[in-house]
Amino acid sequence: MGTPVIGVLALQGDVREHLSALAAAGVQGAPVRRPEELDTVDGLVLPGGESTTMSKLATLFGMADPLRERIRSGLPVYGTCAGMIMLADKILDPRSGQETFGGVEMIVRRNAFGRQNESFEAAVDIPGIPGGPVEGVFIRAPWVESVGAGVQILAEHGGHIVAVRQGNVLATSFHPELTGDHRVHRYFADMVRDAG
């Protein structure tokens, strides 16, 4: 595979920041808004934002079922914050009508680290990402309550799971795209190359 094209689901959330981080990680990013655009990408980022809104917009734009199918068929996907929630098989405290795309055998708790004014930054050590801890920005962040047997726990913070991987699916409860440190995006780009 040459330079992979990694889409960013562009329905809601911090799309521009992910596109910048992907470019800095040496891959081509592309906004994805319609089902047919899913067929043009080698991987996909589900950005942070508001998971309930993202769920409703994905259904409205006809993206929910195609996304579930592509994830099931092995498309590499990386979800941050709300994106992590969307990749969970189960949400512990879903809003009314909220659905996920699935992809990771995990149960997540929304807004687990607190509200907006309790947002914080912390160093997160992720084995497999060289160069020491990455800076994680936690904004109304979820955490993972529990995982299935096939899920690799990549990082914890304060005794809670904040980064996981299952096959071609990566999820973090924090936002590396807001830090200027693009190592997590490079790690995902390598996952996409390996899958291709």
* Catalytically active residues, by annotation: 81, 175, 177
CA separation for the pair 124, 187 (Å, rounded): 15
| Mean pLDDT, range 83-88, rounded to an integer | 96
Confidence of residue 147 (pLDDT cuts 50, 70, 90): very high
| Mean pLDDT, range 151-171, rounded to an integer | 97
CATH T-level topology, domain 5-195: Rossmann fold (3.40.50)
- Judge contact between 147 and 170, C-beta under 8 A: no
pLDDT for 1 equals: 62
Per-residue CA distances from 181 to 26, 109, 151, 157, 185 (Å) = 13, 26, 25, 18, 9
pTM attached to this predicted model: 0.95
- 38: part of which helix (H) or strand (E)? helix 35-38
pLDDT for 113 equals: 85
**Segments making up each domain of the chain, as ranges:** 5-195
- C-alpha triplet 122, 127, 132: angle, nearest 5°: 55
| Mean pLDDT, range 87-112, rounded to an integer | 89
- 174: part of which helix (H) or strand (E)? none
- C-alpha triplet 16, 19, 24: angle, nearest 5°: 125
